[in-house]
Amino acid sequence: MQMMMLSISLFIIYFLTFSIHVYGQNKCEAFIDLTLIIDSSGSISPNDFEQGKKALIDLVSRLNVGTEKAGVAIINFSSTMSLSAQTDVFEFDRMELLQQIAELPHLAQNTSTGEALALANSYCQARCRPATQAIPRVFAIFTDGHSNEGRPPIPAAQALRSNPIEGTIFAVGIGNIGTQGDAELLGIAGDPDYVLNIASYLDLARVTNAITMKMCEFPAFVLPNIKIRGEMTGNSSRYYKMHTLKKLKKNAFFEIEINDRVGKTAVYTSTTNKNPSSSSPKSISNRNVRGGNTYTTFVPANADNFYFSVKGVMSNLNQFDFIVRVRSLDF
């Protein structure tokens, strides 16, 4: 029976990856450190748990898994939990990773969401790529209800979203999770834009492409005064975010000095749009400095975050580096 289940799992993996390749479904080329946090509690039926695994196989198949691209770790949680990862979050082989998802056991205990989030925190602090590389750290949690065991989940989630992780949590509720479940998901994500409710595990399989593409547009956290290197193909973008000087109650100029090493890029900024694709002429100015371009944006003291994107203009490879300087103002 175990050998039969393994054969079925491998068939599912090969079928999904073949379908995506042949029919040209959307794929994500983003650089991303992704941790999938999967509810494996007893309130989920065995059939629904298997449907959920198929959806996650589809999701991961759409990522460009590799050392220099997308890295994926998996936490399967209930009262107990397991972490599936190699030495580093970005060193997985795609087929090995998909097989690990297919073989996840249904733990069928209580729901220790806070403990799973704390495990994700410990793992990412030890193994995610350095913040100086500006790789988005994304934590996607899939659950059918609220936590009922272990540490409180919302403080554990806040720790993931704060220094030193500076991650983004995408919280997916499946089925009727109730008022308490809805409130918990929002508290975990910390942003209604990062909460998704789905009617059933069967429906999860129908929206994996939308989930994948959304996660691949999450911005990476950037520190000021540190040179960042990046690349993308033409017509694609990389997204970034920074803290403003809101805590200091100071206005500021954010200056992005960017140098195109290969190809050509364009920069867009915003204090409200997480994925800016255009900029108001009143908010951004551009000047040529030392052979590169410097984009300057005025950021008011009441802005929560500063967002910017770098878009590849040339049709093939675009490689660049940039550094952001923050100049505070006393008005």
Are 172 and 311 within one domain? no
Are 228 and 193 within one domain? no
CATH number for the domain spanning 135: value is 3.40.50.410
Q: Quick check: is 49 in a domain?
A: yes
Q: What residues are paired with 5 via a beta bridge?
A: none
- Residue 259's alpha-carbon distances to 29, 267, 318, in angstroms, are 22, 11, 11
CA–CA gap between residue 36 and residue 98 (Å, rounded) = 12
Are 71 and 122 within one domain? yes
Last residue within a domain, chosen from 189, 216, 243: 216
CA–CA gap between residue 116 and residue 16 (Å, rounded) = 28
Cα 98 to chain centroid, rounded: 18
How high is the pLDDT of residue 258?
95
Q: Quick check: is 6 in a domain?
A: no
CATH number for the domain spanning 241: value is 2.60.120.380
Q: Quick check: is 320 in a domain?
A: yes
Are 75 and 149 within one domain? yes
Are 172 and 253 within one domain? no
Contact yes or no for 120/139 (Cβ under 8 A):
yes
Are 90 and 196 within one domain? yes
How high is the pLDDT of residue 331?
65
How high is the pLDDT of residue 233?
85
Last residue within a domain, chosen from 192, 216, 240: 216
How high is the pLDDT of residue 149?
95
CA–CA gap between residue 28 and residue 67 (Å, rounded) = 15
CB neighbourhood size of 27 (10 A) = 16
Are 50 and 132 within one domain? yes
Are 211 and 229 within one domain? no
Last residue within a domain, chosen from 156, 191, 216: 216
**Strands lying side by side in the sheet with 292-299:** 228-233, 317-328, 252-262, 292-299, 284-289
Q: What residues are paired with 268 via a beta bridge?
A: 309
How high is the pLDDT of residue 24?
38
Range of the domain at 183: 32-216
Are 201 and 320 within one domain? no
Residue 168 is encoded by which pair of tokens?
A: 């983004």
Q: Quick check: is 94 in a domain?
A: yes
> Which residue type does 140 have?
A
Are 50 and 183 within one domain? yes
Are 109 and 184 within one domain? yes
- Residue 165's alpha-carbon distances to 120, 131, 204, 262, 306, in angstroms, are 10, 8, 28, 31, 18
Q: Quick check: is 10 in a domain?
A: no
Contact yes or no for 39/177 (Cβ under 8 A):
no
Are 165 and 267 within one domain? no
Q: Quick check: is 17 in a domain?
A: no
Q: Quick check: is 27 in a domain?
A: no
Contact yes or no for 78/41 (Cβ under 8 A):
yes
* Model confidence pTM above 0.85: yes
Phi, psi for 244 (deg, rounded to 5) = -95, -175
SS (H, E, C) the chain: CHHHHHHHHHHHHHHHHHHHHHHCCCCECCCEEEEEEEECCCCCCHHHHHHHHHHHHHHHHCECECCCCEEEEEEEECCCEEEECCCCCCCCCHHHHHHHHHCCCCCCCCCCHHHHHHHHHHHHHHHCCCHHHCCCEEEEEEECCCCCCCCCHHHHHHHHHCCCCCCEEEEEEECCCHHHHHHHHHHHHCCHHHEEEECCHHHHHHCHHHHHHHHCCCCEECCCCCCEEEEEECCCEEEEEEECCHHHCCCEEEEEEEEEEECCEEEEEECCCCCCCCCCCCCEEEEEECCEEEEEEEECCCCCEEEEEEEECCCCEEEEEEEEEEEECCC
Q: Give residue for tokens 């193909």.
A: 233
How high is the pLDDT of residue 101?
92
How high is the pLDDT of residue 144?
95
Contact yes or no for 143/172 (Cβ under 8 A):
yes
Mean pLDDT by 10 residues, the chain (331 residues): 44 44 58 94 96 94 81 94 71 76 95 97 92 93 95 97 96 94 96 96 92 93 95 89 95 96 94 86 66 90 96 91 94 65
How high is the pLDDT of residue 281?
55
Contact yes or no for 48/201 (Cβ under 8 A):
yes
Number of folded domains that form the chain = 2
How high is the pLDDT of residue 14?
46
Q: Quick check: is 137 in a domain?
A: yes
How high is the pLDDT of residue 3?
44
